[in-house]
C-alpha cells in the first residue's frame, strides 16, 4: 500500500484538511468545523499542508514532526502563504511545549500509523486538550494496510493490532476506541472510507475529551 504523502506537494489542498486519499472537504466541515480562533495541534504535519491550511482559515496552529526535512518544507510553505505556524521538531507524544488544557483540537492525518505506542500519544493529547476538545485521527485502514493488492482476496497478511506492515503499524478501530475510552475520551465519530475498490482505505476516529 503506498504512503499517503507520495503525491507532489502541489496536489495537496490548503482549503481543507484532507483526511485521506481522495477524501474531500465535506469531512473537514463535518468533523473539524470552523477553525477560526481555535488553538489546533497538527501531529506529524509532514510538508505542512493541513497546518498551513488551518492557519489560513484563522486558527492558531502548532505543528510537530520528527523529520527535519519535512519541517523545512512546511516552514517554506507557511512563508509562501503568508501565515504563522509554530513548528516543533518532535514526536507525536512530545508535547511538553504546550500547557495543560491549552488547545481546542488535535489532528493527525496518517502519521500515527508510524508509531506502535498510540496510548502514550493519547495520554499526552488528553493533557493538552481542554475539556470538551477533540482528537481527530485518520489512519490507513487495516484492511487496506494488510492487503497485498487492492483485491480483498489478496489480503493474506495477518491482521494483528500493533503489527508492523512495512513502516506502518496496524491500528484497528477496536484498539483506537479502547485506548480513547481508557484515557477519558468518548468516541463520537467513527468512519471507514473506501479507496479505489471495495476495501476500506481510511479509518477516521474522533474522540471528545472528558473532564479530569
Task: Please count the structural domains in the chain.
Answer: 1
- Taking the C-alpha atoms of residue 119 and residue 93, their distance in angstroms, rounded to an integer, is 9
Max CA distance (Å), the chain: 48
Q: Are 135 and 185 in contact (CB under 8 A)?
A: yes
In a domain, 197, yes or no: yes
- Per-residue pLDDT tens digits for 34-66: 999 999 999 999 999 999 999 999 999 999 999
Q: Residue 199 sits in a domain of what CATH number?
A: 3.40.50.150
In a domain, 68, yes or no: yes
Cell of 211: 473532564
In a domain, 205, yes or no: yes
Asked if pLDDT for residue 150 goes beyond 50, the answer is no
Structure confidence at residue 6 as a pLDDT band (50, 70, 90): very low
Structure confidence at residue 196 as a pLDDT band (50, 70, 90): low
In a domain, 168, yes or no: yes
In a domain, 1, yes or no: no
In a domain, 201, yes or no: yes
Domain that holds residue 175: 15-209
16, 13, 10: which is closest to 31 by C-alpha? 16
In a domain, 7, yes or no: no
Q: Could you give the angle at which helices 49-56 and 68-81 cross, rounded to 10 degrees?
A: 30
In a domain, 116, yes or no: yes
Residue 33: Cβ within 10 Å count: 11
Amino acid at each position: 500500500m503506498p504512503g499517503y504523502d507520495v503525491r507532489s506537494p502541489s496536489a495537496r489542498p490548503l482549503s481543507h484538511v484532507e483526511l485521506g486519499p481522495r477524501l474531500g472537504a465535506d469531512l473537514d466541515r463535518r468533523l473539524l468545523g470552523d477553525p477560526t480562533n481555535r488553538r489546533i495541534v497538527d501531529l506529524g504535519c509532514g510538508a505542512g499542508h493541513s497546518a498551513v491550511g488551518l492557519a489560513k482559515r484563522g486558527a492558531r496552529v502548532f505543528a510537530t514532526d520528527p523529520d527535519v526535512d519535512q519541517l523545512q518544507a512546511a516552514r517554506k510553505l507557511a512563508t509562501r502563504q503568508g501565515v504563522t505556524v509554530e513548528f516543533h521538531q518532535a514526536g507525536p507524544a512530545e508535547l511538553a511545549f504546550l500547557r495543560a488544557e491549552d488547545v481546542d483540537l488535535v489532528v493527525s492525518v496518517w502519521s500515527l500509523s508510524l508509531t506502535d505506542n498510540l496510548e502514550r500519544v493519547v495520554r499526552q493529547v488528553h493533557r493538552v486538550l481542554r475539556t470538551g476538545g477533540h482528537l481527530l485521527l485518520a489512519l490507513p485502514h487495516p484492511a487496506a494496510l494488510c492487503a497485498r493488492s487492492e483485491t480483498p482476496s489478496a489480503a493474506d497478511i495477518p491482521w494483528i493490532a500493533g503489527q508492523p506492515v512495512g513502516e506502518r503499524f496496524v491500528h484497528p478501530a477496536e484498539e483506537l476506541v479502547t485506548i480513547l475510552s481508557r484515557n477519558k475520551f468518548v468516541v463520537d465519530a467513527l468512519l471507514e472510507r473506501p479507496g479505489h475498490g471495495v476495501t476500506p482505505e481510511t479509518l477516521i476516529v474522533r474522540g471528545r475529551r472528558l473532564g479530569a
